[in-house]
Amino acid sequence: MSGPISYDRHIFADNLLALMKQYGEKQVDVARLLGVSKAAVSGYVRGEQMPRMDKIEVLAQHYGVTRGALLSEPEEDVVLPVSPTHPALAVYDSLNDAGQREFIRYGRFLTQQPSYQVPKEQRKVEYIKHYLVPAAAGYASPIEGEDYELLERDMDTPLEADFSITIRGDSMEPYIRDGSTVYVQRDAPLREFDVGVFYVDGDVFCKQWCVDYRGTLHLLSANPLRQDANIVIPRESGRVCVCFGKVLLPTRLPEPHYG
């Protein structure tokens, strides 16, 4: 009876690094593609661990190669395919925040025009993870897990969104309603009073944030009537706070003020 099939982690690491270089991708891009942590991808490229076969299949489809091309030593004179950056992405990346919003607005307008629509049978369906973990109510659990469903991306899905989550509670009203879905971008820079999704002491919260002169972290409710739901984490408290990403909203929220 034959034993389990094994693959050389270092060969896989070399092949993955070569493809990432040709595509101009970073470890965080691969992590987003596979739905794993950056630490996991770091282990892949260092030859310390291998992804599951379903993840390898995702990589193969993404780079336009076979699984064998990822798992075997490359043959001489074989040139891996290169996917140039799409012109639309280059234009989008060259715009400021206002320009990007206008770019998306006009793009969505064009998608409603029959003369510009791709026939349904030719459309490429893309999905986004919707984590089945309510945030903001204070009874949730860590987002980074397998408890999610895949939703088809549509016109209302921001291009930069990595996942979505349902908000429970009224602490972010009127800007984010109880039961509404928000889209989140991982690793996006957060300015003070931006809205993020935070993991604190075993719960998940959607809050605005700031740090005071003492280094104390404040996770704030946008609802002026819900100051009681604010979270204060002194710098030396030893409490763990992890930001899962920035909540993508149409406009930036003002600094909260409580009566």
**pLDDT tens, 41-99?**
888 988 888 888 888 888 888 887 887 788 877 654 444 444 445 566 667 777 887 88
| CA–CA gap between residue 48 and residue 9 (Å, rounded) | 7
What confidence score (pLDDT) does residue 146 get? Answer: 54
H or E stretch covering 98: helix 97-111
3-state SS assignment for residue 60: helix
Which among 89, 79, 94, 81 is positioned nearest to 23, based on CA atoms? 81
Instruction: Tell me how far apart the alpha carbons of residues 109 and 89 are, in angstroms, rounded to a whole number.
Output: 18
Which three-class secondary structure state does DSSP give residue 13? helix
- Cα 119 to its chain centre, rounded Å, is 29
Range 29-35 average pLDDT:
85
Helix intervals (H) in 112-201: none
Closest CA to 164 of 178, 148, 177, 176: 148
